[in-house]
Amino acid sequence: MKSRTLTSIISTILFASLAVPIRLAAQERQNKQQPHYKLIDLGTLGGPNSGVPTVFYEINGTAGARAISNQGTVAGTADTSTVDPICYLDDCFYPGAFQWQNGVLNNLGTLPGGQGSVVDWISGNGFITGNSENGATDPLSSLPEIHAVLWQRGQIVDLGALPGGFESFAWSVNNRGQVVGFSTNGTLDPYSYFYFQFFGSRTGTQVRAFLWDKQNGMQDLGTLGGPDAWAGLVNERGQVAGISYTNSTANAANATCGANVPAQDPFFWEKDTGIIDIGTFGGTCGITNALNKRGQVAGQSYLAGNLTAHAFLWQKNGHPQLADLGTLGGDNASALWLNDAGELVGYADLPPNPPGCTGLTCVHHAFLWKQGVMTDLGTIGTDPCSRAVSVNSKGQVVGFTAAVCGGNATHGFLWEDGGPAIDLNTLVPPGSSIALTTPAYINDRGEIAGSGALSNGDTHAFLLIPCDENYANTEGCEDQIERTPALRGDASERPKIALPENAPSILRQRLGHWYHIPGLEASEY
């Protein structure tokens, strides 16, 4: 009894002593001046649309891309004014890879004979990787061949393809100029999921994960026992994450990894050990979405039965190696980005969910996972669903919300210092011609790149530069002392952002991608 009384007294004293700093911290957050930003519409290369490589498809080894270098250079893809006669893209204009630097938008060009190119990633020091037509025709599809490429100091390098292959795609590049992606080879594949998803034909060859560098060229990283593998992420140590089929037996119920294809596991590769199976939570479908410099891998793994999936964090020497991060009380979750401190962001379902909802049509919120705790980042206004897509070294998070779960993104948001989420559109001067719907990446300087909707339904890439002490004298920041109130998750009043009825979904914005990669279905939001 004395022990219980003593505990109560100590608890009371501790609560009283902590209450003041807690109130002061809350008051400090409340009184903190709202951030504001200089908004730059990056425009296009003559056509109607542009975007940065922002799509978090959660497919086969990659969930998205870095869009800004450490120095503020932005890389992306924009429509040119040249019409594509075969309408290879949704809007029927040839795309051009671009680099924006110091106010200048440059077309990075294509391989000789090619008509179009796209960007997938820019490294911290400015290496840019993506894909380009090369002027040849793939004999298996009768469509233009596409090769992985690397741009360095304005020069384009053809990374080629594996022996016997006609197509290759690059996903990411590190500061050493090492590129990862996938390439077809010359071995016939009875599943040929690459050719089936791209071109509707089962006649094709294997797809293999590769690591490319200037000294060794394109290296096949192998598989986990099946015919195909994809590499999506490479860190500064040359470690690679991706996915691979684990056998050659078709599985009729393979969740979103695809019906009637073999089981798919996430993998980790490094030079000394080769390819390592990360495993799953009992299901036959797993996806890698992020990799940091410590060799930690994050993504999504299905549970036994392939009906639900959870976010995971894997580390080679961790205890446990494969950690289930759980959800926000619902069935599903996925980790989409991971900083070097091991902080993760993504989305997770809330309870309860409407009967029959699947995937992103279920109610889900953006989350930040830090030191074992998953924090709900909320949404903007009345939007029911949100996703977090990037977190920098300062713990700043960007993401977006949707008025209809599984529908178009409606508000981009910034979350920092305990939140709640703030609508990006309220952090720039009023009257902007572009609605900031889809931020993609935030670098350690706090610069944000993404894609936004114009009133006519077109999409433009944008850059937000913080008007803080480092940029106080930057043109466009000096006159932003007066700002609109920040729109937070619980705001009762918010500015009206007019999105056109025909605004394209994220899937149709293209945002730096020509293709639908085999495996998981791309989300509409």
pLDDT in tens, 61-100: 345 679 999 999 999 999 999 998 877 656 789 999 999 9
Give 7's DSSP letter: H
Cα 108 from Cα 524, distance rounded (Å): 29
Look at residue 40 and give its three-state secondary structure: strand
Tell me the C-alpha to C-alpha distance, in Å, between residue 443 and each of 255, 396, 397, 424.
34, 9, 10, 16
Task: Please work out, in degrees rounded to the nearest 5, the angle formed at the alpha carbon of residue 301 by the alpha carbons of 300 and 307.
Answer: 115
pLDDT at 497: 35
Tokens in use for 103? 């106010």
Ranges under pLDDT 70 in the chain: 1-33, 54-64, 88-90, 193-194, 196-203, 470-474, 476, 478-525
Q: How many CB atoms within 10 Å of residue 359?
A: 17
Cα 284 from Cα 300, distance rounded (Å): 12
Check: CB of residue 281 under 8 Å from CB of residue 312: yes
Residue of 127, 135, 136, 141 whose CA lies nearest to 180: 127
DSSP letters for 66-110: --B-TTS-EEEEEEEEEE-TT--STT-EEEEEEEEETTEEEE---
pLDDT at 196: 66
Cα 161 from Cα 318, distance rounded (Å): 35
pLDDT in tens, 295-330: 999 999 999 999 999 999 999 988 889 999 999 999
Per the DSSP assignment, residues forming a β-bridge with 314 are 297, 322
Residue of 29, 102, 27 whose CA lies nearest to 72: 102
Give 63's DSSP letter: S
Q: What does DSSP say about strands 448-454 and 434-442: parallel, antiparallel, or unpaired?
A: antiparallel
pLDDT at 365: 96
Residue of 27, 125, 28, 32 whose CA lies nearest to 73: 125
Residue of 232, 100, 213, 97 whose CA lies nearest to 172: 232
pLDDT at 89: 58
Assign 3-class secondary structure to 429-458: CCCCCEEEEEEEEECCCCCEEEEEEECCCC
pLDDT at 396: 97
Residue of 463, 344, 443 whose CA lies nearest to 394: 443
Cα 523 from Cα 13, distance rounded (Å): 51
Cα 201 from Cα 213, distance rounded (Å): 32
Query: What is the pTM for the complete model shown?
Result: 0.85
Tokens in use for 370? 């830090």
Q: How many CB atoms within 10 Å of residue 41?
A: 15
